[in-house]
Amino acid sequence: MGDAGLKISEERPNIRQLDEAAINRIAAGEVVERPASAVKELVENALDAGARRIEVAYAQGGKALIRVSDDGCGIAPQDLALALSRHATSKIDGSDLLNIHTFGFRGEALPSLGAVGRLTLVSRAAGHDAAQISVSGGQHGAVTPAALNAGTIVTLRDLFHATPARLKFMRTDRAEAQAITDIVKRLAMAVPQTAFILRDVSDGGEGRVIFRAEAEQGDLFDALQARLTRFLGRDFAENALRIAAERDGLLLRGFAALPTFSRGAAVAQYLFVNGRPVRDKMLTGALRAAYHDLLSRDRHPAAALFIECDPVLVDVNVHPAKSEVRFRDPGVARGLIISALRHALAEAGHRASSTIGKATLAAMRPVAEGARAYQMDRPSAAARAASYQAQAPGFAQMQEAYSGRVEPCESEPYEQETDAQALPLGAARAQLHENYIIAQTENGVVIVDQHAAHERLVYERLKKQMAENGVATQALLIPEIVELGEAAAQTLLDQTMALAQMGLVIEPFGPGAIAVRATPAILGPVKAEAILRDILDELEGDGGSDGVQRRIEAILSRVACHGSIRAGRRMKADEMNALLREMEATPHAGQCNHGRPTYVELRLSDIERLFGRT
C-alpha cells in the first residue's frame, strides 16, 4: 500500500523534452494568474512603448475579453511573429539583468497569453503599414495587413480556454473586475503624465466607463497629487503630507496621510519602486513602523510612496510577476521610509484630519423632545472639593483645587484671551461634561478631548526624558506589593532594567509577587498595579516580534495613559489654555497614543449652515 501511495513504477521513466505548447502553458501559470495579471502585463508593455494614452476594455471580469489599446511606438510587421516567441524582447540584450529600466524585460507576457487564450495583435510602427497576427492555444497564424493609424491593440479572448481547469479557480466576474480596476489604478498612479480609460464592455458596444484619468500637467508633485486625488479622493489629498527625502542613492517621494486619516485595513497603501507597483513586505513593514506609536494595532496608515534609484541597487527579477523586489541594502530603504515619514509627521505638529470635523457635522441631529440638555452651572465649593479628592491629578505641577467654570480667570486680561483666538487651537471658553474643552478660534470652534490630548502630551514628555537621560523616578514611601502569579511576575522581572529606564523600579517579593519601589515622577500619584498589568498586556501581546525600541515606546504609551487628565476632572480656564498651548507645541498632538483624534475643529461657516444662516 505504501508503494501504491508513492506511485512508484516498476519501469524506468524516460526523460523527454516537452513540446513548445506545454512549456508556454506552464510558463503562463506563473505569469498569468488571473485576468488582472494579463491586464498588468499588457499595460506595462504599452507604457514601455512610450504610450501617452492607454485604453483598457474587459468583459465578464476579463475572462471573456481583454483589450488594451495604446498610442505607443508600435511593432514593425516583420517583428510581429517574433514578439509572440518566448523570451523575445526589445527591452534588454541579456547582458545585464540588474540594469533594468523598463517594466517588462522577460519576454514572456505575449507568448504566455497566446498559450492560454486567443490573442490578436494589431500594430503599426512609424514608417510601416499596420499588420496583425493571431495566436490560439500557442498556434500562430500568419501576419496579415490591418487598418490602424498608430500604436498597438492587443485583444485577448476566452482566457484560459486552453487550460479550462484554471477557470475553476477564478472568482466571480465582479471580483475579477475589481482586481483589474485596482491594477490599472496602481499603474495610472505611477505615470500621471499618461491618460488612462477603463471600460466594462460586458453588455457590448462602447460599454460603461469605469474611470477616466486624463494626463496630468505640472511638475512631478503637482501631477502626482492630482492623480492621487482622482483615485484616492479629495479627503486623502487634503490630509496627506508631502514626502521628499534622499539617502545613499535612494530618492523617496510621495504622500502619506495623517494618523487620524487611518483605515481599518491596509487597502490604501501604494508602494512603487522605479515606477513599478510592488507589494513588498519589507516596504510595507517600514510604512507600518513609521506610524507604530501613532496608531493602534487595528488601524492602518494610508500612503502612496515612490522610491527611485539606480536599477543596479534593486533586483526586480525575483518573481515572474515582478511584484516583489529585493534591494541591495534593504536597511537603507527601510530607514529612509521610517525617518522621512516620522520627520513629516513631526512637522505636522498638532494637525488632525479634516474629515473628523466633517464626520462630526454629519453626526449632528436635532435633540429629541424631552431630552435633557446638560447645564453648565457652577458647582458648589463642597462639590468642587469632593471632586478634587476623588480624582487623580493630571499635570503633576497642578496641585490646586479645580473648578469647571467657563470664563477666563480674573488674572488674565481680555486682550490676552482675544490674542489666543488667533492661535491654531484658540482660547478656552468652556468645559463640558468634565471631559471636553470648548475653545473659540477666529473662524470656528475647537472641541478637545482632555484625556486623549494629555495622554499624548505625557507620552511625548516620557519619550523625550527617556532619550535624554532616562525618566525621573519618584520613590514610594511604602513599596506597593502586587500579586501577579509566577509566570506574569517573571515576564516583568525579565524587563527590570528596561522598566528602570522608564522610571519604574521593581523587584521580586516572594513567589508570584512584585514590589514596586518607584514610579515615573511625571505621572504623580498612580496605582502601580494598574500600570504593571497594562505593561504585562503589552509584553504578552507583543509576541517578541518587534525591536526593543518599539517595545519600549509601546510600554511608555501604556504608562502615559495613567498620568493623563481623567475624564470627569474639572479644569480652570488657565489650565485649559495651558493644555491647548502645549498641544500646539507638541508633535503628534492631533491624535492620542491609539490613533484617535484629540480634537475636532468646526468652522463657523459649517456651524451656521446647520442653523440655516447661510
Provide the pLDDT confidence category of residue 407 given band limits of 50, 70 and 90.
very low
Three cell numbers, residue 49: 512603448
Contacts of residue 180, defined as CB under 8 A and 6 or more positions apart, other chains included, come to 35, 36, 39, 56, 58, 61, 62, 198
> What is d(CA 574, CA 576) in angstroms, rounded to the nearest whole number?
5
CA dist 107 and 443 (Å) reads 60
Digit-coded pLDDT (tens) for 85-137: 776 666 655 555 565 667 766 567 788 888 888 999 999 999 899 999 998 87
What is the residue whose three cell numbers read 491593440? 153
Q: What is the pLDDT of residue 365?
A: 53
Q: How does 412-425 read in b/e, with b if 16+ C-beta sit within 10 Å?
A: eeeeebeebeeebb
Q: Is residue 48 located within the same domain as residue 103?
A: yes
Tell me what the mean pLDDT of segment 254-264 comes to: 88
Q: Please, which residues have CB within 8 angstroms of residue 102's CB and are 6 or more apart in sequence?
A: 48, 91, 92
CATH number of the domain enclosing 612? 3.30.1370.100
266 plus 329 within the same structural domain: yes
Arithmetic mean of pLDDT, 570-593: 86
Q: What is the mean pLDDT of residues 162-180?
A: 84
Q: Cell triple for residue 47? A: 507604457
Q: Which of 539, 582, 581 is nearest to 558 (CA)?
A: 539
Residue-wise burial string across 366-403, b where 16 or more C-beta atoms lie within 10 A, e elsewhere: eeeeeeeeeeeeebeeeebeebbeebebbbeeeeeebb
What percent of the chain is modeled with pLDDT above 90? Answer: 26
Question: Which residues constitute the domain of residue 202?
Answer: 20-213
Residue 436 has pLDDT above 80, yes or no: yes
Average pLDDT over residues 73-83: 88
Q: Are strands 269-273 and 276-278 parallel, antiparallel or unpaired?
A: antiparallel
Would you say residue 543 has pLDDT above 50?
Answer: no
Same domain, 261 and 386: no
Quote the percentage of the chain above a pLDDT of 70.
Answer: 76
| Nearest one of 500, 535, 536, 493 to 514, comparing CA atoms | 493
Q: What is the 3-state secondary structure (H, E, C) of 264-314?
A: CCCCCEEEEECCEEECCHHHHHHHHHHCCCCCCCCCECCEEEEEECCHHHE
More confident residue, 56 or 462: 56
**Domain membership flag for residue 282:** yes
pLDDT of residue 122: 94
Residue with cell 499603474: 187
Identify whether 429 is part of a domain. yes
**pLDDT tens per residue, range 15-42:** 777 666 666 666 555 567 889 988 998 9
Rounded alpha-carbon distances, angstroms, from residue 364 to 249, 354, 519, 602, 611? 51, 16, 43, 12, 11
Of the candidates 425, 456, 460, the residue with the CA atom closest to the CA atom of residue 351: 425
439 and 385 share one domain: yes
Last residue of one domain, picked from the residues 174, 189, 213 = 213
- Does residue 445 lie within any of the structural domains? yes
**Residue type (1 letter), 391:** Q
Domain boundary among 196, 213, 230: 213
Query: Taking a C-beta distance cutoff of 8 angstroms, is the pair 288, 296 a contact?
Result: no
Residues 272-310: tens digit of each pLDDT: 999 889 888 889 989 988 888 788 777 889 999 999 998
Give, in degrees to the nearest 5, the angle at Cα 402 between 396 and 403: 150
What mean pLDDT do residues 61-67 have?
A: 93
Residues 338-344: what's their mean pLDDT?
Answer: 91
Whole-angstrom distance, CA of residue 259 vs CA of residue 590? 8
- Assigned domain for 259 exists: yes
Looking at residues 183-194, what average pLDDT do you find?
93
Whether 224 and 208 map to the same domain: the answer is no
Residues 592-614: tens digit of each pLDDT: 877 788 888 888 888 887 777 76
Higher pLDDT, 351 or 391: 351
Q: How far apart are CA 21 and CA 162, in angstroms?
A: 10
Give the mean pLDDT of the chain.
Answer: 79
Question: Is the same domain home to 269 and 398?
Answer: no
Residue predicted with more confidence, 464 or 158 = 158
Residue 197 belongs to a domain = yes
List, in order, residues 6 or more apart from 203 with CB less than 8 Å away.
none
Residues 6+ apart with CB under 8 A from 427: 408, 417, 418, 420, 421, 439, 440, 577, 580
Angle of CA points 37, 43, 49, to nearest 5°: 140
Residue 305 lies in a domain: yes
- Based on the fold, state whether residues 480 and 398 are members of the same structural domain: yes
583 in the same domain as 473: yes
Q: Which residue has the cell 474587459?
A: 58
How many Å separate Cα 396 from the centre of its chain? 36
- Going by the DSSP 8-state scheme, the letter that residue 84 receives in this structure is T
User: Is 549 among the domain residues?
Assistant: yes
Same domain, 468 and 358: yes
User: Which pLDDT band holds residue 166 (cuts at 50, 70, 90)?
Assistant: confident
Taking the C-alpha atoms of residue 557 and residue 402, their distance in angstroms, rounded to an integer, is 27
Please give the pLDDT value at position 252: 95
For residue 208, list its beta bridge partners: 200
Q: Let me know whether 437 and 292 are in one domain.
A: no
Q: Cell 500594430: give the residue.
A: 123
User: Which range scores top for mean pLDDT: 250-259, 296-305, 526-535?
Assistant: 250-259
Cα-Cα-Cα-Cα dihedral of 593, 595, 286, 557, to 10°? Answer: 10
The pTM for the full model equals: 0.69
For residue 403, pLDDT beyond 50? no
Task: Looking at the structure, tell me whether residues 411 and 330 fall in a common domain.
Answer: no
Domain end (from 213, 231, 266)? 213
Section 45-61 average pLDDT:
93
Tell me which DSSP letter residue 194 carries: S
pLDDT given at position 558: 64
> Are the C-beta atoms of 223 and 192 separated by less than 8 Å?
yes
Q: Is the pLDDT of residue 371 over 50?
A: no
C-alpha separations of 516 from 395, 529, 556 in Å: 22, 9, 17
pLDDT band at 69 (very low <50, low <70, confident <90, very high): very high
Q: d(Cα 50, Cα 75) in Å, to the nearest integer? A: 12
Beta strands in 166-220 (DSSP E): 195-200, 208-213
Geometric angle at alpha carbon 333, from 330 and 335, rounded to 5°: 105
* Position with higher pLDDT, 368 vs 92: 92
What does the block give as the cell for 152? 498597438
Residues 415 and 539 in one domain: yes
- Domain assignment present for 122: yes
Which amino acid, 165? A
pLDDT(384) > 50: no
Q: How many CA atoms lie within 13 A of 472 on its CB side?
A: 8
Measured CA to CA, the distance from residue 127 to residue 151 in angstroms comes to 12
pLDDT at residue 63 tops 80: yes
The CATH number linked to 314 is 3.30.230.10
**For residue 358, what pLDDT is reported?**
67
Query: What length is written for the chain?
Result: 614
Number of structural domains in the chain: 3
CATH number at residue 209: 3.30.565.10
The residue among 395 and 481 whose pLDDT is bigger is 481
